[in-house]
Amino acid sequence: MRNPMRAKSVRWPKVPEDQREAWPLETAQRMRDANKARYRIAVVAPLGCGLRQGEVFDLSPEDVDFQRGVIRVHRQAQLRSGRFYFALPKGGKTRIVDMPWSVADELAAHFLQYPAVEVELPWGGPEPERERRTFPLALTTTYGNALRANSFNDGVWKPALAAVGAIPMREQGQRWKTSRKDGFHVLRHTFASVILEAGESVVTLARWLGHSSPTIMLDHYAHFMPEAGGKGRAAVDALLGVAPEYVPDGLASI
């Protein structure tokens, strides 16, 4: 007898992804302060605006609108086959994100202390025949090159993690011992947790993070909304004339 569950019309449920984990604010602040001054905004920008690592590495003063208080996310730095190139943000979608004054102050100070460096790379892929474009980047190496994620993570990010006690210090000749939850992306998750706990809408946050649908936000970040449903319950109680302190007899013993 044929197993009906093997029919092409049957869709198996997807395994739910793990919930995103955020850092306590104290840990995030300590990481910001533990980084070298040159790379401080590499923590501030994702923590304050939810940028991805590639978007941070490709941030240009031209993308920052201090007057309107926004950052235009137009590009990201990508690495393939050992070669760097500029590309559109994930999903090929540009976006505009809100920039709090605290982030604006940090960026303004960085631009003054570390002038942007013109970097030329292929656009859209690493192939030599690609059109080359030049952008002034706010974050570069001391040699004026675009930042590589692996080099940054091993030379800047992980030493800072060890400095704040998030991971053990690396022994000479050994690899860093880290877990996925301590990766650079945790800054973006922490940003999302702060925004949702402050009561901002899921739709707005999805737009700032560059997600295609608010549904993705709910799948990953719903646990950052401890008061979700509270306003709805209060509205229904007001509609039905139930006092907030009222507890039905049947529920008192539960």
pLDDT tens-digit profile of 104-159? 999 999 999 999 999 999 999 999 999 999 999 999 999 999 999 999 999 999 99
Mean pLDDT for 164-191 is: 88
pLDDT tens-digit profile of 9-39? 555 444 445 567 888 889 999 999 999 899 9
pLDDT over 80 at 161, yes or no = yes
The domains found in the chain, sorted by start residue, are: 25-237 (1.10.443.10)
State how far Cα 70 lies from the chain centre: 16
Least confident segment among 41-50, 164-173, 234-243: 234-243
| Band (171; pLDDT cuts 50, 70, 90) | confident
From residue 211, alpha-carbon distances to 15, 194, 204 in Å are 20, 17, 10
CA distance 199 to 157: 30
| DSSP element (H, E) containing 119 | strand 117-122
The verdict on pTM exceeding 0.85 is no
